[in-house]
Amino acid sequence: MYDFAYQKPASVADAVKLLAGDPEAKAVAGGQTFLPVLKQRLNKPSLVVDLAGLGLSGIKQSANALSIGAMTTHATVARSAEVKKAIPGLAQLASWIGDNQVRHRGTIGGSLANNDPSACYPAAVLALGATIKTNKRAIKADDFFQGMFTTALEPDEIITEVEFPLPVEKSAYEKFRQPASRYAMVGVFVAKGPAGVRVAVTGAGQNGVFRVADMEAALAKSFAPDAIAAIKVSPEGLNSDIHGSAAYRAHLITVMAKRAVAAAG
């Protein structure tokens, strides 16, 4: 990696000030994507602003929402009794991210802000109709994801927490792993809750996470694997690489969606 300055501010306001004051500054949450990127010299920040001191970690449940602090690690979400009870699919998803080391460093806020097209969390956030809260505003999941590595976040905007509306009646995630990296080649989150019945797909789309309207409509009528077994997804706009063609990914979306519906019970 290249040399850079490092700051670990103690408040969101200070962090925002540091980021706003330097166009070459970058924020680091858990660093599980950012550090490898730095090591490969693919990014050359002048300043790295560590968000670990902002007190943004923790899980809170109210009558109609489950809030997860932006700096909450995947491991914390995966083993949280509240998450497991309220949204079991979300705990399952977190438990499948990366490996044990990654899960103890990587955070939900970092994953969403990065919006890697093969990250897992965007599928849950979109399928559950979550709201992303920042130092400035609240952004609906439908408005947040804007294409590969692109979000609605402004340069001096920091995610503070993610709010999932309750009650969630059904939730499950199924992931087909890219064989080498084990990232989601096709990840499908299905949910039935306050946002309705939703099917969100990560890993497959060239522009990141997306919803499958045909499947949502079919599942709204009958929440059962057979309801979507015959629904084919178009390969248009899907990724194609040495691990899988767009046609294969399109096929896997239906298979993973079926399995997620079955797992959601």
Partner 1 sequence: MAFEGIGAAVKRREDGRFLAGRGHYVDDMNRPGQVYAYIRRSDRPHARIRNIDTSAAAAAPGVIAVYTGADMAADGIGGLPCGWQIHSKDGSPMAEPPHPVLAIDKVRHVGDPIAVVIAETRMAAKDAAELLVIDFEDLPGVADIRAAIAAGAPLVHDEVAGNICYDWHIGDRDAVEAAFARAKHVVKLDLTNNRLIPNAMEPRAALGECDIAGHYTLSTTSQNPHVIRLLMGAFVLHIPEHKLRVIAPDVGGGFGSKIYHYAEEAIVTWSAGKLKRPVKWTAERSESFMSDAHGRDHVSHAEMALDEDGHFLALRVSTLANMGAYLSTFAPSVPTYLYATLLAGVYKTPAIYAEVKAVFTNTVPVDAYRGAGRPEAAFLLERLVDTIANDTGIDRIALRRANFIPADAYPYQTPVALQYDSGNHEMTLAEALKAADYAGFPARRAEAARRGKLRGIGISTYLEACGIAPSHVAGALGARAGLYEVANIRVHPTGSVTVFTGSHSHGQGHETTMAQLVADQLGVALDQVEIVHGDTGEIPFGMGTYGSRSLAVGGSAMVKAMDKIIAKGKRIAAHLMEAAVEDIEFKDGAFRVAGTDKSKALAEISLAAYVPHNYPIEELEPGLEETAFYDPKNFTYPGGCHVCEVEIDPETGVTKVVNFAAVDDVGRVINPMIVEGQVQGGVAQGIGQALLESAAYDANGQLLSGSFMDYTMPRADNLPNITVGTEITLCTHNPLGSKGCGEVGAIGSPPAVINAVVDALKEYGVRHIDMPATAERIWSIIAANRPKMAAE
- Nearest approach, Cβ of residue 160 and partner 1 (Å): 31
- Nearest approach, Cβ of residue 1 and partner 1 (Å): 9
Q: Which is nearer to partner 1, 148 or 255 (CB)?
A: 255
Those residues whose C-beta lies under 8 Å from the C-beta of residue 184, and which sit 6 or more positions away, are 118, 119, 120, 123, 175, 176, 177, 178, 202, 203
Q: Which is nearer to partner 1, 99 or 236 (CB)?
A: 99
Question: For 31, left (φ over 0), alpha (ψ -120 to 50), or beta?
Answer: left
Spatial distance between the Cα atoms of 124 and 56, rounded to a whole number of angstroms: 20
Angle (CA) 159-107-90 rounded to 5° is 100
| Residue whose C-alpha is closest to residue 62's, from 136, 161, 196 | 161
Q: Give yes or no for a contact between 246 and 254, defined as CB atoms under 8 angstroms apart.
A: no
Contact residues toward partner 1 (CB under 8 A) are: 2-3, 40, 176, 179-181, 242-245, 248, 251-252, 255
Q: Which is nearer to partner 1, 35 or 59 (CB)?
A: 35
- Nearest approach, Cβ of residue 179 and partner 1 (Å): 4
- Nearest approach, Cβ of residue 127 and partner 1 (Å): 21
Q: Which is nearer to partner 1, 144 or 176 (CB)?
A: 176
